[in-house]
Amino acid sequence: MCFSSIRTAGGRIVCLRCTALSSRTGLQCGRPALKSSRTQKCQFHGGRGSGPKTVEGRAKIAQAHLIHGNDTKVARAERSAASARLAQLEDAMHILQMAQGPRTRGRKAAGYVSVRSVEDVKRMMVEDVLSSGSGSVTADSNHSA
């Protein structure tokens, strides 16, 4: 048994009733359904919908939420990696006693691995040379020039 309409505001407004059924009692929800709901549900039972599902609809929403496009995920990842690298270099400078004073506070960027000993500094430098093969070549050419 499913009542499709209810009266609210002291009987002055007739509106559609939410058709959701309680999983505990089996009774029908007593709230008015949202006018925008395709399935005649209140906002607590999914009447607001859950967003676009088709590829075109999702692309339309993504285009609407695009603010300027100056920043990309790749650019943000590069900046984050550079911040982590900078924090590691700061660690290395303090370990090698090239710098004194207070350290940079706060959360470190993603990908940061703490550098705590001279061995860590050596390992970091070896990884740096191995990861950027062309960079070491230019550094050698700068030394010879």
Binding site for Zn ion (CB under 5 A): 18, 20, 29, 31, 42, 45
Q: How far apart are CA 86 and CA 47, in angstroms?
A: 49
Helix (H, G, I), strand (E, B) or coil at 119: helix
Look up residue 71 and give its two tokens.
Answer: 């920043």
- Nearer CB in complex with Zn ion: 29/93: 29
DSSP 11-47: TTEEEEBP--B-TTT-PBP-SBPPTT-TT---GGGTT
- Nearer CB in complex with Zn ion: 41/87: 41
- Nearer CB in complex with Zn ion: 31/121: 31
Q: How far apart are CA 140 and CA 99, in angstroms?
A: 26
Q: How far apart are CA 65 and CA 6, in angstroms?
A: 38
State the minimum distance, in angstroms, from the CB of residue 29 to Zn ion. Answer: 3
State the minimum distance, in angstroms, from the CB of residue 23 to Zn ion. Answer: 12
- Nearer CB in complex with Zn ion: 45/88: 45
- Nearer CB in complex with Zn ion: 20/121: 20
State the minimum distance, in angstroms, from the CB of residue 127 to Zn ion. Answer: 57
Look up residue 75 and give its two tokens.
Answer: 């650019």
- What's at 28, amino acid-wise? Q
State the minimum distance, in angstroms, from the CB of residue 53 to Zn ion. Answer: 22
State the minimum distance, in angstroms, from the CB of residue 63 to Zn ion. Answer: 33
